[in-house]
């Protein structure tokens, strides 16, 4: 799914709209208690009444997600560059990367909070740990999948490894990197929120944790709505950036 | 560039065993000679060009390009190698693709043609800023040709460069190539399985045998240029080469 066309958007809006309508009517009809399932109208009212609180929390969480994601991308790119320069490193790096990646994030998050405190730093670190892996794996596949016909032309010119990397291998791997970013973008939000749950001074995860301990479901849902919206916005941003940068893929 | 090939052999190792591709190939090619290499598919024609272009290392035998090894000749960019697929980089414009041939491993002491002149020579001046994927197959191959010319190489190793194109485009590009050869006067090794084309283009045709390939016959084409398919001497040469080739496939 590399493009969001208008019929697709219309269909998605229709499904979301119908769900919300059914939800609102269902809550009214069954008189569901607000501590079990609040109506969408109630959630939106909570949101608008506390707009500034949510805006600040969103800013904090998004900031953690984006900075962490950028660090994760940087880490992935550096590892791929090292492996390309010294192919002997591949096995070792991949084993450690898989080890780090397969350790459950809920196990790492409390540790990071204990070591790095309640500020944004442990969140950024967790997001980076979570997001570097798809970038590493996909970019490496792209680099290694580079069309032999392109490489042969450059080899017949006696091109250096550096010239090959810059003009052929990296551009060839870019579509693979963006495929990874479409996974890593929304994943960055998950990482930031989970990290905030284990202890934070601000952010949507912090708000959710407070709402959860008070059984304040409208507040909990309000945070969920914002996160869903932020997730799809990050994804759309990736798709847009991809179309601008990897233009030759969308002919 | 004069090329001497002596006792050249090459074998590929595949998961199912060893496949001999070339056996004891010897050839002498003169400065600015246009040599066509004709042979059935799988006779090692492409392997021969790859060995000359330093894309493969020979297992036995000797290659000298103006006295240099293929590695030395490639390192100083005296070799222009071109295959059936133009292999242009889709993320660069036509002009950048051509200019890259001069920017990679630059050889400041060697004279190279200006990119804009090359674009004009292959009729792509209006498409300098176009990306390769917006061009037709024939135009892409013209760009590939310009990129090979941009090297200012002493030898053009052309591995069926127009084989993937339609007949009309192929014929017009072949004529253009002949014109470019007469302008730049490089040595040309032209691999093909198209008999008419060899008689139309080459000074000499080398017919190769089936795998493992070796030189079966060499035939000098003495016809004056420009050559005419309907000239009385043309078809007998085609027939003679067809018989030689048929004995190999």
Are the Cβ atoms of A248 and B91 closer than 8 angstroms?
yes
pLDDT digits (tens, 9 = 90+) for A157-190: 999 988 999 999 999 999 999 999 998 888 999 9
What is the C-alpha to C-alpha distance for residues B241 and B4, in angstroms, rounded to an integer? 24
CA distance B37 to chain A (A): 20
According to the model, what pLDDT value does residue B90 have?
95
Is A167 at the interface with chain B, CB within 8 A?
yes
Using an 8 Å CB-CB cutoff, list residues of chain B that contact chain A: 53-55, 74-75, 77, 79, 81, 83, 85, 87, 89-92, 100-101, 104-105, 131, 133-134, 151
**Residue of B40, B74, B36 lying closest to B54 (CA atoms):** B74
CA distance B64 to chain A (A): 16
What is the C-alpha to C-alpha distance for residues A78 and B87, in angstroms, rounded to an integer? 28
- Banded model confidence at residue A1, pLDDT cuts 50, 70, 90: very low
CA distance A93 to chain B (A): 29
Are the Cβ atoms of A155 and B91 closer than 8 angstroms?
no
Residues in A closer than 8 angstroms to B75, CB to CB, are 158
- Banded model confidence at residue B25, pLDDT cuts 50, 70, 90: very high
What is the C-alpha to C-alpha distance for residues A242 and B121, in angstroms, rounded to an integer? 36
- Banded model confidence at residue A228, pLDDT cuts 50, 70, 90: very high
Give the residue from A147, A152, A158 with the most B CB atoms within 10 Å of its CB, the best one to mutate: A158
Q: Number of residue pairs across A and B with CB atoms under 8 Å?
A: 52
Are the Cβ atoms of A156 and B81 closer than 8 angstroms?
yes
Residues in A closer than 8 angstroms to B150, CB to CB, are none
pLDDT digits (tens, 9 = 90+) for A64-116: 999 999 999 999 999 999 998 888 999 999 998 888 888 888 888 889 989 99
Are the Cβ atoms of A167 and B104 closer than 8 angstroms?
yes
- Overall average pLDDT of the B213-226 stretch: 89
Q: Which two tokens stand for residue B222?
A: 């003495």
Q: Where are the domains of chain A?
A: 1-32, 38-249
According to the model, what pLDDT value does residue A22 have?
94
Can you give the pTM of this predicted structure? Answer: 0.84
Q: Where are the domains of chain B?
A: 3-13+24-246
Q: Which CATH architecture has domain A38-249?
A: Orthogonal Bundle (1.10)
Among B75, B85, B133, the residue with its CB nearest the CB of A248 is B133
- Banded model confidence at residue B246, pLDDT cuts 50, 70, 90: confident
- Overall average pLDDT of the A207-211 stretch: 93
According to the model, what pLDDT value does residue B249 have?
65
Q: Cα dihedral angle (B186, A154, B72, B41), rounded to 10 degrees? A: -60
According to the model, what pLDDT value does residue A125 have?
94
SS3 assignment, position B3: strand
What is the C-alpha to C-alpha distance for residues A68 and B76, in angstroms, rounded to an integer? 46
Residues in A closer than 8 angstroms to B81, CB to CB, are 152-153, 156
Are the Cβ atoms of B74 and A156 closer than 8 angstroms?
yes
- Overall average pLDDT of the B34-61 stretch: 92
Residues in A closer than 8 angstroms to B134, CB to CB, are 251
Paired strand residues for B192: B38
Q: Which two tokens stand for residue A231?
A: 């997730």
Is A153 at the interface with chain B, CB within 8 A?
yes
**Residue of B118, B147, B143, B117 lying closest to B132 (CA atoms):** B143
Q: Which CATH architecture has domain B3-13+24-246?
A: 3-Layer(aba) Sandwich (3.40)
Are the Cβ atoms of B55 and A152 closer than 8 angstroms?
yes
Bigger pLDDT: B95 vs B229: B95
According to the model, what pLDDT value does residue A7 have?
85
């Amino acid at each position: 799914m590399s493009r969001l066309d208008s019929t697709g958007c219309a269909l998605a809006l229709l499904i979301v709209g119908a769900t919300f309508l059914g939800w609102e009517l269902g809550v009214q009809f069954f008189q569901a208690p607000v501590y079990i399932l609040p109506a969408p109208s109630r959630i939106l009212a909570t949101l608008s009444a506390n707009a500034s609180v949510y805006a600040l929390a969103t800013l904090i969480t998004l900031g953690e997600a984006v900075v962490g994601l950028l660090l994760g991308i940087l880490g992935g790119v550096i590892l791929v560059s090292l492996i390309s320069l010294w192919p002997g490193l591949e096995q070792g790096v991949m084993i450690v990367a898989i080890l780090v990646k397969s350790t459950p994030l809920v196990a790492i998050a409390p540790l990071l909070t204990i070591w790095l405190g309640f500020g944004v730093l442990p969140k950024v670190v967790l997001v980076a740990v979570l997001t570097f892996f798809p970038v590493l794996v996909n970019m490496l596949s792209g680099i290694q999948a580079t069309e032999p016909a392109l490489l042969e032309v450059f080899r017949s010119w006696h091109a250096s490894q550096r010239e090959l990397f810059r003009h052929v291998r990296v551009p060839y791997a870019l579509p693979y990197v963006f495929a990874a970013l479409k996974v890593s973008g929304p994943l960055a939000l998950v990482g930031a929120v989970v990290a905030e749950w284990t202890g934070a001074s601000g952010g949507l995860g912090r708000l959710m944790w407070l709402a959860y301990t008070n059984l304040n479901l409208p507040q909990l849902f309000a945070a969920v709505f914002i996160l869903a919206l932020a997730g799809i916005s990050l994804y759309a941003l990736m798709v847009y950036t991809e179309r601008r940068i990897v233009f030759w893929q969308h002919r | 560039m004069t090329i001497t090939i002596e006792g050249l052999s090459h074998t590929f190792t595949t998961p199912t065993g060893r496949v001999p591709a070339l056996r004891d190939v010897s050839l002498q090619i003169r400065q600015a000679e246009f040599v066509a290499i004709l042979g059935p598919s799988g006779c090692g024609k492409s392997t021969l060009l790859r060995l000359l272009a330093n894309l493969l290392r020979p297992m036995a035998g000797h290659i000298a390009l103006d006295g240099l090894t293929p590695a030395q000749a490639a390192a100083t960019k005296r070799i222009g190698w071109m295959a059936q697929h133009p292999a242009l980089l889709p993320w660069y414009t036509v002009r950048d693709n051509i200019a890259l041939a001069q920017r990679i491993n630059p050889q400041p002491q060697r004279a190279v043609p200006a990119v804009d002149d090359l674009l004009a020579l292959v009729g792509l001046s209006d498409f300098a800023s176009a990306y390769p994927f917006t061009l037709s197959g024939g135009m892409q191959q013209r760009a590939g040709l310009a990129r090979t010319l941009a090297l200012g190489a002493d030898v053009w190793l052309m591995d069926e460069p127009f084989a993937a194109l339609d007949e009309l485009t192929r014929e017009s590009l072949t004529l253009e190539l002949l014109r470019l050869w007469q302008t730049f006067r490089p040595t040309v090794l032209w691999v093909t399985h198209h008999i008419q084309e060899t008689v139309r283009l080459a000074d000499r045709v080398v017919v190769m045998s089936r795998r493992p390939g070796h030189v079966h016959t060499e035939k000098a084409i003495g016809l004056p240029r420009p050559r005419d398919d309907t000239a009385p001497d043309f078809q007998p040469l085609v027939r003679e080469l067809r018989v030689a080739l048929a004995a190999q496939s």
